[in-house]
Structure 1
Amino acid sequence: MKAWQKQGIGLENLKLVEVETPKPGPNQILIQVKAVSLNFRDKSIMDGDYLPDLMSKPFIPVSDAVGIVVSVGSEVTQFKVGDRVVSHLYTKWVDGAPSEDYAPTAVGGPNDGGLAEYMLLEEYAAVMAPANLTDEEASTLPIAALTVWFSLVEYGKIKAGDTVLVLGTGGVSVYATQIASALGARVIVTTSSDAKGERVKELGAKEVINYVKTPDWEKEVLKLTNGKGAEHILEVVGGDSINRSIEALALQGHIYIVGFLKSMMAEVNLFALLAKQARIQGIYVGHRKAFDEMNKAFNELNIHPVIDTVYSFDEAIQAYEHLGRGAFGKIVIKVSE
């Protein structure tokens, strides 16, 4: 089969190769990949920033994939040939707390991912794709959507009327706007672009703060909420942004650390954190049970992912480059018809 393989650090070391099509073991399924989507994690892996020691050997990248089951192992009971499934990032995190060694179980690094014509998955590392989504849409679910769902629903117990502050308009942030709005929350979004601001309003955002025109966006959040602040904040920036998020937070509110676009390191104002009684939660996507629950909700709420651009399989490097420039919504690579 044809596959893209990470053979070193940098996009120049992402190579299109021919490899053996894998065969499923007793508890595995083989899918014909239809589409994959890219996340910041994929870029960080290629750049050598994301767990470089773990990602040192050659592998097929990209964790988020949708495909049709074409072969099943002898002991598989949950899926049959012809089922349309989506990959789950952490293959052994099914429910509850993860095991201490769950990071090395991830697909798309260090284990082979979906940027290939076929993909091998453990039976418990797949979920049924929502029937209301196209292949391209379903491919965007495993990291970006589940990260938001796990933050707001699993940890945050979000309820209608809560205020959610979403930083930026990347893939996770756009999903946060859609999901929080669908669940009845008031959504405030920060962006550097008035045009993107109009687009998130179409997705349900009630207010938009242009942080170029209003650099003190945390003060603007307090103003918009009559001094109360936001009960939930999706923090994707990293660095000193955490202190601004604490200032914009409601008392005993939740900050979900889901990314580090600016910096992995932060110097935190502990007094402000204590005064707000802030609940700061690191989010590393979520477990398979939550993924199943989210997919059912996507069907019921009829949420459709926002896709910026769909690239062909041969255009994988261009897709990564586009991700690096920034996008509104998700970057998708169509692998097969």
Structure 2
Amino acid sequence: MKYWSFTEGFGLENLALKTGARPRPGPRDVLLEMHAASLNYRDLVVLRGQHGRMVQPPLIPLSDGAGVIVDKGSDVHDFKIGDRVSPAFYQHWQGGPPPADLEVGRLGGPLDGVLATYCVFPASSLVSIPSHLTYEEAATLPCAGVTAWSALSEPSPLRPGETVLILGTGGVALLAIALAKACGARTIVTTSSAQRAEKIRDFGADIVIDRSQEENWAQRVRAETGGLGCDRVLELGGAATLGQSIKAVRTGGTIILIGNVTGNNAELFLPLVLTRRLTLHSVSCGSRSAFEAMNRALALHEIRPAIAKTIPFDRAPEAFQALEHNDGVGNICVGSYQEGSG
């Protein structure tokens, strides 16, 4: 089999294509022939060696993938050979509250990820792929997709008629637009350019705000909501955007903390939070049961994740570069896994 691994350290210069023996599943495991993977901003953090002491080389990167079962252990009865599945981002979180050792179960660091032609996973960590999705589309779901689902479900579900503000145009944001629309909510989306704004309208956003033209976009959000503010914010930006997100949400509203692309240390004007009874709630992907619930919704509404670009497995480092350069609107995927993979 082939696999990509960070060897002596992180950075693209240390990402090497390797060959090795095909792994064999244990009694409760399955062997997947991988067909596609997808990148998240988190994978750039790993690439830069900024994900903390727990994530160290050697490491096979990427958490989000999809494949087909080609072998399974004797104690596996829930799946059969030929089933199309994806591994959950958290390999040990089945449902309910997150386990105390949540961080140790993440694919793509500290656990080896899916940038390999064959992977072994516990059967208990797998989720069936909706039949209407391609492998590339399904590969976008384990982290980015479930994060979008969790952001619209926690601490309480988004309701029909509510307004949700979504920051950015990455994989989490685009799927959140589709899921929010499917539940009957109104969507306001911020982006960084006129070109991206036009594309986001094509994805079904009700209102698109170009931050490059409207510096005080929180004021625009309040104007679009009759001066009240939105019900929920999917805060994907981080330090540089959190202040305006707080101004954009209604009294009693919820800010879902997801990303920190613009920085880790935010300064807050606490009276805006305290006197308006705001809820700041963080999500970090979700459990296997949340993954299954999301897939049922995707199948019911025939929602398809957006893909900006697919790069062949043997040129996988180009996928990291494409994500760094923010190429296109949608997910950056790695495909064509099995071409000459051995």
Do they fold alike, i.e. is TM over 0.5? yes
Give the CA deviation at 1:195.
2.0
Q: Separation in 2 of the partners of 1:43 and 1:285?
A: 17
Letter in 1 for 2:164: V
Give the CA deviation at 1:88.
0.4
Q: Separation in 2 of the partners of 1:325 and 1:243?
A: 26
1:108 and 2:108 correspond: yes
Q: Could you tell me whether the CA contact under 8 Å between 1:33 and 1:119 is conserved in 2? A: yes
- So what's the TM-score if we normalise by structure 1? 0.97
**116-125 or 190-199, which deviates more:** 190-199
1:65 and 2:65 correspond: yes
Give the CA deviation at 1:154.
4.0
Describe how 1:177-196 pairs up with structure 2 within 5 A: 177-196=177-196
Q: Could you tell me whether the CA contact under 8 Å between 1:35 and 1:336 is conserved in 2? A: no
Runs of 4+, deviation exceeding 3 Å: none
Letter in 2 for 1:297: A
Q: Separation in 2 of the partners of 1:160 and 1:35?
A: 34
**CA deviation digits over 1:226-276, x for unaligned, max 9?**
111111111111113111111100111111111111111111221111122
**CA deviation digits over 1:53-94, x for unaligned, max 9?**
111130211111100001111211221111100110101100
Structure 2 counterpart of 1:44: 45
- So what's the TM-score if we normalise by structure 2? 0.96
Q: Separation in 2 of the partners of 1:282 and 1:56?
A: 25
Structure 2 counterpart of 1:174: 174
Structure 1 counterpart of 2:85: 85
RMSD: 1.1
Q: Could you tell me whether the CA contact under 8 Å between 1:170 and 1:330 is conserved in 2? A: yes
Q: Separation in 2 of the partners of 1:108 and 1:56?
A: 10
**Helix, strand or coil for the counterpart of 1:195?**
helix
Aligned pair count reads 336
Structure 2 counterpart of 1:268: 268
**Helix, strand or coil for the counterpart of 1:276?**
coil
Letter in 1 for 2:49: G
Q: Separation in 1 of the partners of 2:27 and 2:267?
A: 49
Give the CA deviation at 1:220.
0.7
Give the CA deviation at 1:16.
0.4
**CA deviation digits over 1:111-166, x for unaligned, max 9?**
11110110111112110001010111111111111101111124331111110101
Q: Could you tell me whether the CA contact under 8 Å between 2:56 and 2:109 is conserved in 1? A: no
Letter in 1 for 2:229: G
Q: Could you tell me whether the CA contact under 8 Å between 2:10 and 2:57 is conserved in 1? A: no
Structure 1 counterpart of 2:338: 336
1:255 and 2:263 correspond: no
Letter in 2 for 1:189: V
Q: Could you tell me whether the CA contact under 8 Å between 2:105 and 2:111 is conserved in 1? A: yes
**14-23 or 150-159, which deviates more:** 150-159
Structure 2 counterpart of 1:163: 163
1:56 and 2:56 correspond: yes
Q: Separation in 1 of the partners of 2:23 and 2:170?
A: 34
Q: Separation in 2 of the partners of 1:278 and 1:328?
A: 31
Q: Separation in 1 of the partners of 2:252 and 2:16?
A: 48
Q: List alignment gaps of at least 5 residues for structure 1.
A: none
Q: Could you tell me whether the CA contact under 8 Å between 1:137 and 1:304 is conserved in 2? A: yes
Q: Separation in 2 of the partners of 1:10 and 1:305?
A: 28
Structure 1 counterpart of 2:132: 132
**Helix, strand or coil for the counterpart of 2:215?**
coil
In structure 2, the CA distance between the partners of 1:268 and 1:178, relative to structure 1 (3 Å rule), is: same
Q: Could you tell me whether the CA contact under 8 Å between 1:240 and 1:267 is conserved in 2? A: no
**199-208 or 87-96, which deviates more:** 199-208
Letter in 2 for 1:181: K
**18-27 or 33-42, which deviates more:** 18-27
**Helix, strand or coil for the counterpart of 2:173?**
helix
Describe how 1:300-319 pairs up with structure 2 within 5 A: 300-319=300-319
**Helix, strand or coil for the counterpart of 1:92?**
coil
Q: List alignment gaps of at least 5 residues for structure 2.
A: none
Q: Could you tell me whether the CA contact under 8 Å between 1:156 and 1:232 is conserved in 2? A: no
**293-302 or 153-162, which deviates more:** 153-162
